[in-house]
Structure 1
Amino acid sequence: MANKLLEWSGPRVDDLAGIQMICDEVRNEVEEWTGKTYVDYQAVKYINVKGFRYVVKVYCGEEDYIHLCLAQEPPCPGGKQMVHYVEQQRTKEDMLIAF
């Protein structure tokens, strides 16, 4: 069962559709970070870390997954969504952990 996210600017995020919207907002930044263009890019699981930081598992096609560490800067409602880190070459079974 996925944890609920607490606050984020924009729509209320309490399900995968909401976290997908956030992932879509930072997609260009993620693709720039990894140097890849993703055909598949779908959030499948997420955890909340310290209220304004989130770790998201994103399906990228075939057996490829990435983990995104997203944060809101400044850490308050209305802040800009930012990618703090991307872990590549993750699998469906890899656990989400704060990094």
Structure 2
Amino acid sequence: MFLCGGLSEAQEAGENIQKICDNVKPDVQKKAGKNYEVFTAVLYETQVVAGTNYYIKVHVGGENYVHLRVFENLPCYGGGLELSDMQQSKSYNDPIEPF
């Protein structure tokens, strides 16, 4: 059952989610103060608000992961992607939770 404002079930990240990550990677690196050679989307959940929040688990090398919250504006407001927030020092087993 879909709940507006609630998170979807975790899904494997595909090409479209990787494109979102590639788009915000410069902002992520700036915020983290690091350059990531590995930056691979693994899992994601979505939250429908006045647009869409993507909560994405990204592998950044070794045993290291980050969680991203990326907002995609509605097309009627120009679309566009924005890194809203990120969490560092995550592992593969850490669940994706709203932040």
| TM-score (ref. length: structure 1) | 0.81
How far is 1:40 from its partner?
0.3
Q: What's the RMSD between the two structures over aligned residues? A: 1.5
Instruction: Give the counterpart of 1:23 among 21, 24, 30.
Output: 21
CA deviation vs aligned residue, 1:6-29 (integer Å, no higher than 9, x gap): xxxxxxxxx511100010011101
1:26 and 1:83 in contact (8 A); partners too: yes
Which residue is equivalent to 1:35?
33
Structure 1 CA distance, aligned partners of 2:17 and 2:98?
17
The equivalent of 1:47 in structure 2 is 45
Question: Number of matched residues?
Answer: 86
- Greater C-alpha Rg: 2
Alignment of 1:1-99 (within 5 A): 2=11, 16-50=14-48, 52-72=52-72, 75-77=73-75, 78-99=78-99
Query: Which structure has greater strand proportion?
Result: 2
Any idea what SS the aligned residue of 1:60 has? strand
CA distance in 1, matches of 2:18, 2:41: 5
Give CA-to-partner distance per residue, 1:54-85, whole Å, 9 cap, x none.
Answer: 1000000000000000002xx30242200010
| Sequence identity (%) | 31
Q: Which runs of 5+ in 1 are unaligned?
A: 4-14
